[in-house]
Structure 1
């Protein structure tokens, strides 16, 4: 999972050089839906989604429709490694949004420190681009991180009883339908290169369809809490993939920013422990993966 959801940034960077953003997002969602929707239909339970159509639309919007456009458009100008590192700040954003939206869990000193450390890492990484580079592309990636923080809040608070496979299949199908018209209007005149086609296939088959199948199996095997440990490795995979495959620069500031963002995310999302209390059993309904990790 660390590899599967660490390499989308690399594949997006390759694909966006050969096709438009709408075509890229359409290809990813359509291929993912083509694989997962038959599995969801065979498993049954799609009728359980009907009462939740409005929050499902919100989840789909903030998890797929908006962020996949923003991220793909941003990577036309940014390196894949920088994009992956900035997205790694989404857990920090989630803590802030949860607090602002009524979460009554007290923020300990450790969590406050995590927020500050993580945001310092984001500032270190983004400041050069904001002051003398492509400020809009940085903004797009940061907005993507915000979207990835909003979507799990919707899922955790409203969609706890919705089966994950069925929810993912329906959302991917809806996103593919939304992107069909702009994809048709911007369809390439000539067949893209083999490298671009491979990246599109990888995004749809590996980073979306296979990713969810493996993720659900991982949850069944080790539980949702332990299953999410891989999310802290994703940024490292994104950086290594960008440097090794695309020859992107690996600077001291990137390494320091990575350490700050990762460390801040771990601290900011840590749970307060009650002395002498047994840890609570994980609840599967609380876990809603972000598909572009």
Structure 2
């Protein structure tokens, strides 16, 4: 046991991993609920900008440790690209899409990310590495999307959220190639800091600013500190204590949390067709992730290179 380990955590590693798993699933399942709350008063661009600014204030000091700030100076073009596709663009698209899409459905549509990652990998490898399970997951997930997009309930906003999931996937597949030797938490802090001025400028030029009420401020603080900053920290800790494969399961557990939160807190109602579409997407994501969990996977190496995003939210 190293000197910086908590004795209780060291004695009960499985308990600690289970707790982190639940924490990450909750933190990345509720942001859509708080987006809905904030949207009642302020615009989607300001929600994305303020949320990222708060997360940046929390994670920014990490870059001062061990000279991590040099990553921004030395790799700023790559980090800027990542800040756009992993933070600025998806956060904005999600908030805009939620003006017409329920929070629970939003969480499920974001679970398309591993399916998009598989499609990108399929395109890059021309299908050489795709297994029967992978093909089945893609087919089931796409069927779920078709089912959901055919509902009047989702409207055009669903396309924006699907685009956000695609943007997340592009960033996720880019991280191992752009930053093979950089730890994920440093990447997360750097890209959030770079995304902050971009989103603030876009919001200033595009939307009028309305002074948030205490309830809206609470939602924004939860989005920034809990769902983004704490969510990242907990996710990276889970990868270290368990495996990237175990951590990736949160991708299709958190949508269940978002569905439950929307029903319990906001009184959202899920139709039978919507439930079928959501179930198909989650099953498809599970099959795609199962395809990745091959017996010869080196989890220690994957932990250092695991593609991460600022929220799954």
Q: What are the Cα deviations for residues 110-136 of structure 1, in whole angstroms up to 9, with x where unaligned?
A: 21111111111111111123xxx6643
Q: What are the Cα deviations for residues 173-206 of structure 1, in whole angstroms up to 9, with x where unaligned?
A: 11111122233453534x3222211111100010
CA distance in 2, matches of 1:104, 1:60: 29
Instruction: Show the counterpart of 1:287.
Output: 306
1:67–1:148 Cα contact (<8 Å) kept: yes
After TM superposition, give the deviation of residue 225 of structure 1 in Å. 2.5
Instruction: Show the counterpart of 1:88.
Output: 111
After TM superposition, give the deviation of residue 281 of structure 1 in Å. 3.4
| 1:78 aligned counterpart, secondary structure | coil
From 34, 54, 57, give the equivalent of 2:57.
Answer: 34
User: Is the counterpart of residue 235 in structure 1 residue 258 in structure 2?
Assistant: no
After TM superposition, give the deviation of residue 251 of structure 1 in Å. 1.9
1:108–1:272 Cα contact (<8 Å) kept: no
After TM superposition, give the deviation of residue 288 of structure 1 in Å. 2.4
After TM superposition, give the deviation of residue 43 of structure 1 in Å. 4.1
User: Is the counterpart of residue 123 in structure 1 residue 146 in structure 2?
Assistant: yes
Summarize the alignment of residues 151-230 of structure 1 with structure 2, pairs less than 5 Å apart. 151-185=171-205, 186-189=207-210, 191-230=211-250
Please report the TM-score for the alignment, with normalisation by the length of structure 1: 0.90
From 21, 31, 42, give the equivalent of 1:8.
Answer: 31
Please report the TM-score for the alignment, with normalisation by the length of structure 2: 0.85
User: Is the counterpart of residue 113 in structure 1 residue 136 in structure 2?
Assistant: yes
| 1:60 aligned counterpart, secondary structure | helix
2:63–2:69 Cα contact (<8 Å) kept: yes
Q: How many residues align?
A: 287
Q: What are the Cα deviations for residues 129-166 of structure 1, in whole angstroms up to 9, with x where unaligned?
A: 3xxx6643121111111101101111022212122222
Instruction: Show the counterpart of 2:46.
Output: 23
Which 5+ residue runs of structure 2 have no aligned equivalent?
A: 1-23
Which 5+ residue runs of structure 1 have no aligned equivalent?
A: none
After TM superposition, give the deviation of residue 63 of structure 1 in Å. 0.6
CA distance in 1, matches of 2:202, 2:88: 12
CA distance in 2, matches of 1:179, 1:264: 33
Cα–Cα, structure 1 residues 75 and 216, in superposed 2: closer, same or farther, change >3 Å? same
Cα–Cα, structure 1 residues 171 and 92, in superposed 2: closer, same or farther, change >3 Å? same
CA distance in 2, matches of 1:66, 1:3: 23
2:85–2:170 Cα contact (<8 Å) kept: yes
CA distance in 1, matches of 2:292, 2:103: 34
Cα–Cα, structure 1 residues 40 and 195, in superposed 2: closer, same or farther, change >3 Å? same
Instruction: Show the counterpart of 2:99.
Output: 76
CA distance in 2, matches of 1:34, 1:181: 17
From 80, 84, 100, give the equivalent of 1:57.
Answer: 80
CA distance in 2, matches of 1:266, 1:254: 18
